[in-house]
Each structure stands twice: as structure tokens, then as C-alpha cells.
Amino acid sequence: MEMFRFLLDNYDFKKVADNIYRYNGFLLEKIPGRHLYFDPAQSACLNGEDRIDGVVFLSKHSSEAKIKSLTVHPTGNFGDAALGGKERNLSVSYPPLMTQVLRRLWEFHSEQEINITFEATHHGPLLLTPNFFLEIGTTPMEWENREILEMVCSSLITAKPGKGRNFIGIGGGHYMPKITDYVLGSDINIGHMISKHAAAFLDEELFTQALEKTPQCSGVVADWKGIKSATREIVKAVTDKTGIELIKI
């Protein structure tokens, strides 16, 4: 809600309907209920006359460790559906814009000590429209910080979808540190991301779903030491079968 208010206060969004505002190719919609359980059938924007390329959920991020962070991540569940969506079902990811927003966050990086990183795919909602979460963490001090709000909202408003190839990422911890660093130093875009924790649920069918729900997916970026041997076998089997590229980092 702080990002919602900041966008309305600082950009020329015009109200076009109840809870819907328009500015420069963006539609800003205030939705009922918690976004983890968002039902696209109830969205006026997704069911209106405008062609919607993708959805960005503006969210706060919480962490028991209280680490200050700005994160982006796709939606869906490799395991159960404790936080929205459906068990073993992934949304369509949005690699070109999600990755470019991450890069813009780094370009706008302030003097404040704050982590800017990917997060692995880990909760709902479930959408067929390409989408991702953009989050500010971790306490009200960050959620209400004007400099951070400006950095995040500017990154979103000014980002242009990256033109590089789309990949999925696998391996390492929840914040995908090696994959974040690799992507920031390359021109590729990342869609779905599978942490070493989520890899425990993985089989060839679910791994293939991650590829299929990452539009125009060219391959896999793998933190090879950050996954177990059984997971490596799944990755190798599917990449060999499909002929897509496997980048080991």
C-alpha cells in the first residue's frame, strides 16, 4: 500500500474506474484480499479491454532475520500450496521485465545498506498471465522509507524488458545468491527459480513445467554445487532431452 500511494502521489496516474488508475502504459489496480490468494477472474484489469502483457504485484517482504532487502520473484509452488496457488503448479513467469527491474534497482542503488536480490519461486497466486512480485523488506522502517519507495517505484516505471534470452535458475539458497550475481553480470533474463530446498520436490515433470512456464526459455543456469546429485541428474536428463542450454556456475 505504501508503493500504491507513492505511485499515485508522484506519477500522473489518472483514475479510470473504481480502484483502477492509468499512466504511461501501466494500469494500477487495488485488489481486495491478500495478493497471495488473488483470483485473476476477479481482476477488472485482466478481464477488461486492455491487452495486458504482465502483472507486477507490489508487496512488502518479511524475514525473521530482519535483513533489509529488495526482492523480485516469480509465483507458483514446487511443493504444497500453504501460501496461495496450487500444489506443484507454477504461474507463467515474466523474465524480461522481472530481471530488468532487478538491474534497475541496482542502478538506483542508494547509500543505504540493503540487499537487492532474486528470490526463488515459492508462493501463490497462480496466473496464466506473466507475473512477478516486487517486494520491500523487512520492517515498517523500510516499507515507509521515502528513498526506498522512490528507488523501487522508479525502477519499475522506467524498466524496459530485457532483450536477452530467457533461462530458469536452480540451486543455492532461497535468495539465489550465485544466480543473482551471474545474471547481473550478463544479458540473460531469469524466469522461474528453484532453490535447493524446493529441489527436494523436483522430478522431471515439475522441472519441465518450470521450463514451459518460462516464456521462450533457452536454458538453465545452475548453481551446480548448490544442488544434490539427484537434482543434477534431473537437470541433465531434461536438458539432454530438450536440447536446451545448461550453464553451470
Hey, how many other C-beta atoms are within 10 angstroms of the C-beta on 21? 19
Backbone angles phi, psi at 50, to 5 degrees: -75, 145
8 is in which domain, residue-wise?
2-248
Contact status, residue 71 vs residue 109, Cβ threshold 8 Å: no
Q: What is the pTM of this model?
A: 0.96
In the 8-state DSSP scheme, what is residue 111?
S
Q: State residue 138's pLDDT score.
A: 83
The arithmetic mean of pLDDT across residues 78-101, rounded, is 98
Pairing verdict, β 217-222 and 245-248: parallel
Q: Residue 2: pLDDT above 70?
A: yes
Where residue 221 sits, what CATH number does that domain have?
3.40.630.50
Q: Distance between CA atoms of 107 and 130, rounded to whole angstroms? A: 24
Q: Distance between CA atoms of 181 and 160, rounded to whole angstroms? A: 20
The arithmetic mean of pLDDT across residues 24-50, rounded, is 95
Q: Distance between CA atoms of 119 and 70, rounded to whole angstroms? A: 10
Q: pLDDT digits over 178-233, tens only?
A: 999 999 999 999 999 999 999 999 999 999 999 999 999 999 999 999 999 999 99
Number of domains comprising the chain = 1
- Partner residues linked to 89 by β-bridges: 77
Q: Please state the separation of Cα 38 from the chain's center in Å.
A: 16
Q: For residue 211, what is its C-alpha cell?
A: 521450463
